[in-house]
Each structure stands twice: as structure tokens, then as C-alpha cells.
């Protein structure tokens, strides 16, 4: 069962929350964005997330984020082809969503703690 709409599917409504969830609202997409925000760049670095993201899901989410204009992939090695991933301005805009999620999680879900990279000095 696909949990995301296929490319070019009609939006469910014109609500910006619904549309935002369509492009970035599953259990994994925003974790990929989180890891790009904390400086992970390569497929290997992203695959090493503590949540043990399945590699097929990582590849799928990176592709969708790239198609949606949130992530840019730059070839940094030709043989074999290797890409460095980074957030576009549109992707960087999701930081506010992640900040809100992290704040809510820290307040409401016992035992959670933000990664050191995100802690304020």
C-alpha cells in the first residue's frame, strides 16, 4: 500500500496543512530533513540515522524531496556516481516545522532529547 500520493496527484484540498503533509508528512521524510539540517550530506551519512531508516525508504524520500524542490543532489564523484544532498531554500523552510515538533516532543514525550547539534549554547 502506498502511503503517499503518486506524482502529480490532485491535492486533497487547498488547505496548506494538508498539502504540506502530502509532501512532507510521513514518519520518515522530516527525519531526512532533520539530518540534512544537522549537516549530513551523503547517502551513507543519512542511512546512519539512529532510527535505522530502511535504505529503500531513504532512496524514495530523497527522490520525492528532490522532485518537490526541497532537496538538491550534487554529483561529487563520477565512478561510481555519488551525490551530496542539501536543502534548498524551500527545504530549509521546514526547519520551523521541525523546531515545533521537537519542542512539542520534548515537552510531551518523556525521555526524548534533542540531538547535540540542535542544542542552544
Q: How far is the CB of 82 from a copy of itself (least distance, A)?
A: 26
Which of 44, 56, 80, 108 forms a contact with a copy of itself (CB under 8 A)? 108
Q: Which segment (44-52, 59-67, 72-80) binds a copy of itself by CB under 8 A?
A: 44-52
- Residue recorded with cell 551523503: 42
Which DSSP symbol is given to 26?
A: S
Q: Judged by CB, which is closer to a copy of itself: 77, or 112?
A: 112
**Cα–Cα distance between 21 and 99 in angstroms, integer?**
16
Would you count residue 4 as binding a copy of itself (CB under 8 A)? yes
Measure the CA angle with vertex 21, ends 20 and 26; round to 5°: 140
CA distance 66 to 68: 5
Q: Which stretches of the chain bind a copy of itself, using CB under 8 A?
A: 1, 3-4, 11-23, 25-27, 30-31, 34, 49-52, 90, 93-94, 96-109, 111-115
Amino acid at each position: 500500500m502506498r502511503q503517499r500520493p503518486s506524482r502529480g496527484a490532485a491535492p486533497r484540498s487547498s488547505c496548506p496543512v494538508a498539502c504540506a503533509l502530502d509532501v512532507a508528512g510521513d514518519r520518515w521524510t522530516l527525519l531526512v530533513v532533520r539530518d540534512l539540517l544537522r549537516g549530513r550530506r551523503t547517502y551513507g551519512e543519512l542511512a546512519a540515522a539512529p532510527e535505522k531508516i530502511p535504505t529503500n525508504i531513504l532512496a524514495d524520500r530523497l527522490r520525492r524531496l528532490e522532485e518537490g524542490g526541497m532537496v538538491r543532489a550534487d554529483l561529487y564523484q563520477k565512478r561510481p556516481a555519488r551525490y551530496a544532498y542539501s536543502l534548498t531554500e524551500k527545504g530549509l523552510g521546514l526547519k520551523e516545522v521541525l523546531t515545533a515538533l521537537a519542542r512539542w516532543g520534548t515537552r510531551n514525550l518523556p525521555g526524548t532529547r534533542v540531538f547535540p547539534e540542535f542544542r542552544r549554547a
